[in-house]
Every structure is written in C-alpha cells, then in structure tokens.
Chains A and B, each alone.
Chain A
Amino acid sequence: MTRAHRLLAIAAGAAVIAALVLVPLSLNRYGLYILSLWAVMSIAAIGLNLTLGYAGQVSLAQGAFVGIGAYAAAIMTVNGLPLSLAIVAAVALSFFVGWLLGYPALRVQHHYLAFVTLAFSTLAFLVFRNEEWLTKGIYGISDVPRPNIFGLSTTKSLPFYYFCLFTLGVVTLAFWRLVRSPWGRAFMALRENPMRALSLGVDTRRYTLMAFAIGSALGGLSGALYAPLTEFVDPTPFTLSLSLNLLMMVIVGGSGFFFGPYLGAMIAVLLPEWLRFTQGYYLIIYAVLVMALLIYSPTGILGILDRYLRERGAKAASALRAAAKASLPDEAAP
C-alpha cells in the first residue's frame, strides 16, 4: 500500500467514526434503536465471519449463541447482578458451548456441519421456549435493566448507543489484531486447505475448535448487549431465521473480508427500514435484492470492490509492462 492509499484509508476511517459518533445526536429514539441494533448485530456477524469467512466452517447456529448470551445477561441482571459480570458469563458460556459444537466439525465438513449446527439452533430455541423455570418460556423476561457505566446511566437511548458503539470498537480492534496474528493465519490455512495446513504443522483440531469457540463467544457478547437494548427477552427473535439472517449478513457483506460483517449488518438492519415506504412489499424487495446481488457477485459487496481494485491494479501493471517493453528497444538502439 502506498502512502497516499494509507492516508486515504485513515481519512475514510476517521470520517466513518465521526459520522457514527455525531449523526446519532440528531436521531430520535427509534433511529437510535436501529443504529444500536446494527452495532449489536455487527458483533455477532463478526464472530460468524471468523468461523465462516476466515476458518471456513459453516455454522447455522450463530443466532442460538445470540440467544444464549441474551438469556444469560437477562437472567443475571434481572436478579441484580451487574451487566459487566453478565457479559463475562455470557461470553464464557458461549465460548464453552461453541467449543463443544466445534467437535462435530472435526468429524464432518461442509453441508453436514451446516445441518448439525442447524439442528443445534432449533434445539436451543426449544430449550428457550420450554424451560419455563429458567427462561419464563413464551412470556419472556421483561424489564431487563440497562447498565451504569462509571456512574453514568445508559437508560436513555443515546448513552446506550454509545455503549454499544464502544463495545463494537473494542471488538473491532481485538479482531484486527487476531486476524493479523499467527492465529489468524492458521485460521485461513484451515479454510484454504486443511490437509496442507495439517502437514505444515498447524494443529487443525485445536484451531477448528477455537474458530467455533471465539466466533460463538462474539455471538454471546452480541446477545448480552441485545438483552438490555430491547429490555425484553423472549424466544421469538432466536429462531433459526436469526442464524440464517446473520449468515446472510456475512455473505452479502463479503465473507472473509474484514469489513464485510459491518456492511452486511448495515444492509440487513437498515435496508428493510429504508424500504418501509413500500409497506408490505419491503421484505420481498429485500429478498430479491439479496438474490440479485449474489447472482452478480457471490462474494458479496466487498467482493465487487475487491474485483474492481484488482482489475485496476492488473491494468496498471500491464500498462507498466507495456511501457517497459516499449522503452527497451530505445535503450538497446544506440
């Protein structure tokens, strides 16, 4: 990357961050709720992007981990424990369950793995709905409190949005470091060619389990924020369709691209809102747009960008080569 490119990237990043901090000041409660939801869903999608995009393990259970995190946070905070403790518990629980769910991935791959995780997702929903002593069943847990951070109440929508944004920022930095660490390279080796990775000395067994566990832990974190965001937790949001939605976010944004999940979550959360003027048709339009996008670019939106940049790079390179070729005889002539 040249220096100009780097400066451009930093400027773009700063502009996005400034917009995320400043724009909400002018939003009403519902707008803030939608933006907070975007931040929360982004975290879950980042987790799935690690499992799917970087490590290549298909998971249809991310929605279940959001549910596990949400229930853990709701049950603990309603009983008077602080949210910070609940977040730690939700992340630890999801990490542990995700680790266990990774074991089938050691035996089976691809579509079989998709079906195991799909079954897990539905089983988790049944537990949320039926274990009334713990989850209050279909009646749900209401009045989930929002936290106080350093003495500041986040009961109002704006401070809570900043809390979600801050958490997303922390996750972003941690994830940035993770994918650039030897671990991140091991995950990608797992995706590209597991046999080769194994023969090169990557402990594929451990990294497969880790990819599931860390991805699921981020799902749990997302859930632990979701519970205080909606202040009410019942089983309906955590059906299989949430898992499918999260998967769609990752693929539509661009699976395996760092910024894919942010973009995918933004489309999945905001686009239906923007299409609301079409009334009953908005979900149809949304679904058709997703299909059209995938037909045009199966690697998602960032895939289009990537292709464009690469083509431009290739053109520039071939122009350089042509120029070099043209100049060669001149040098040889005298």
Chain B
Amino acid sequence: MSNLFDLVIAGLATGSIYALVAIGFTLLWQTSQTINFAQGEFVMLPAFLMLAVMRAGAPFWLAIIGGGLLSVAILGVAFKKLLVDPMLRHGVLPLAIATMALSVAMKESVKQFFSAEAQPFPSIAPSGSVSIFGSSVSLQSLGVFAFGVAAVIGLNLFLERTSTGRQMQAAAQNPTVARIVGVPVERMIMLTFVINAALVALASLLVTPIYLAKFSSGDTLGQAAFIAAIVGGFNQVRGAIVGGLAIGVLDNLAAAYVSTQYRAAVPLVLLIVIILFRPEGLIGRPEERTV
C-alpha cells in the first residue's frame, strides 16, 4: 500500500511537469493553430541556456533569471516572429513539419555547441525526504509537485480573473469577434508564445535535476506532453492539467504493475482510445465542425 502511495506521489510530480508542458502546447494550438512538434526540445533547451550562463561565472539564481529571459526571447519571441508568422497563413501542416525540422536543429545544435554528454543540473528543491503516512517521500518530488501546481493555479487565475487573461481567451476562441470588441489580438497571440516559453523554462528547471540535462531528453517529454494535452482535452487549459497528472501517475503505475517493456504503450493505448471515443478529451468541449 505504501508502495502504491509512493508511486502516486512520484507520478503526480512528473505529471505536474507534463501538465506545464501540455498547457503551453494547448495554448499555442488555441491561439494560433501551431502544433509544436519541438515542444519537448523547448523543455530541453532552457536548462542548457541556464548552464551556459553559469559557465560564464554567474551564480545559480542569476543563471535561472538569465536563462529564463533568454528562453523567452528565443523560444517565445524569435520562434513566433521567424517561424510561425511567415508560415501560419499556409495552414497547419507545413508549420508542423517546420517545427519537426526545428526540433532536429535544436537537438543537433546543443549536441554540437554544448555537449553530447548528460550534464548534472542543480536542484532548486532541497534534498532528503519526509515521512508521510508512514512512507518516506522525497522532498524533491514534493517540491516539483508544489511548484508545478502553484504555476498552474497562477496561470489559471491569470486567464480567468485578469482582464488580459480574458482578452487572451477571447482572442483564442474567436479572433474575429475579439478584434471587433477591441482586443489587441496580435499582442495576445504573442503573449501566449511568451507564456509558453516561460512554462517550458519552468518545466526545464524542475525536470532537469531529475533526468540530467541531455540534448535528447526532449523526446520522451514532448511525447508525454502531447498525450497529456490530448487525453485531457486539446482545447482547454484545465484539460491539460488533468491529462498531465493522469499520464504521470499512469506512467508510473504501468512501470510497476504492467511491464517495464510495455510501460510506454499504456499511455499510447489510452491516447488512441480517448481519440476514438471521446475526441474532445476527458474534460474538453467538442469542436464544432464546419463544412
């Protein structure tokens, strides 16, 4: 029983990271029909940017700020201006392919210009463990979970309660009407790209101490975030949270109770079942079809 409890806690910790990445993924889809196949690499890069700032001699806290700002500039602003904007009017698919090429370019660049070896990364959560209900839980898991949940709640409050957040939602749901009622749609779309960059930078900061910084670490993360986004509901932020946590827990339980070999298959099968029988996701809204 305590074993199960451990697994669920660890699952919730990784799940909250998946949720962060998945939220960014759904935000980009909602506001600008961008399916970002490089989202996993987006999580990989900020850790290396932070490491680069540290190598330049800055302390860890400064590296977090510096690396975070660099991430926002590169993964938010530059990504939108240089790749998304010129391609958006040509439809979903060419842009999706371009992000695939981007993911290759990012992986290879880090491998070439930084290192092909896995790099250790300092943790912002304290080490050690505490005892809850008779089983010991690592502080790192708890810290990651706490940070993840805090970020998600903060983002949700921003989207629901502030004027800017509501304008963002309006711009996502119906850009034409939003423009008519005076929402600066273009600025709102840019804001979602910046928020996505900030979310992946935070996810990078939380996940890298656990899995080390490696150029290829985005592969599994990106796919998990994908699945989380769809399982929860591709068109809702809340869905991405539910999906992220569900996939995190399910992944851990599958590794323990199904088989390590087919561990990765469990979320995929869930994905196919969800798409076939509830394409709008666990708590998403159905998308209207137009002729």
Contact = CB atoms under 8 A, between A and B. Distances in A.
Contacts of A284: 104-105, 108-109, 112
A295 B262 contact: no
B271 A280 contact: no
Interface residues of B, number: 41
B230 interface: yes
Contacts of B35: 111, 114
B268 interface: yes
A97 interface: no
A200 to B, nearest CB: 14
Interface stretch (A2-10, A63-71, A78-86, A119-127): A119-127
B264 interface: yes
A176 interface: no
Contacts of B272: 104, 116, 119-120
A119 to B, nearest CB: 4
A251 B99 CA distance: 13
B275 interface: yes
Task: Determine the main DSSP class of B at the interface with A.
Answer: helix
A115 interface: yes
Contact of B101 (A107, A126, A294): A294
Given A284-B108, A284-B109, A126 B265 contact: yes
A104 B101 CA distance: 27
A110 interface: yes
Interface string A217-258: 000000000000000000000000000100110011001000
A287 B279 contact: no
A139 interface: no
A291 B96 CA distance: 11
Given A130-B262, A244-B100, A108 B279 contact: yes
Interface stretch (B55-63, B82-90, B189-197): B82-90
A287 B276 contact: no
A108 B276 contact: yes
Interface string B229-242: 01000100000000
Nearest to A122: B268
Given A111-B35, A123-B265, A298-B87, A283 B108 contact: yes
Interface of B: 29, 35, 37, 83, 86-87, 90-98, 100-102, 104-105, 108-109, 111-112, 223, 226-227, 230, 234, 261-262, 264-265, 268-269, 271-272, 275-276, 279, 291
18 contacts: A112-B234, A115-B271, A120-B272, A123-B268, A126-B265, A251-B94, A280-B111, A283-B105, A284-B105, A287-B101, A287-B108, A288-B105, A290-B98, A290-B101, A291-B83, A294-B94, A295-B87, A298-B91
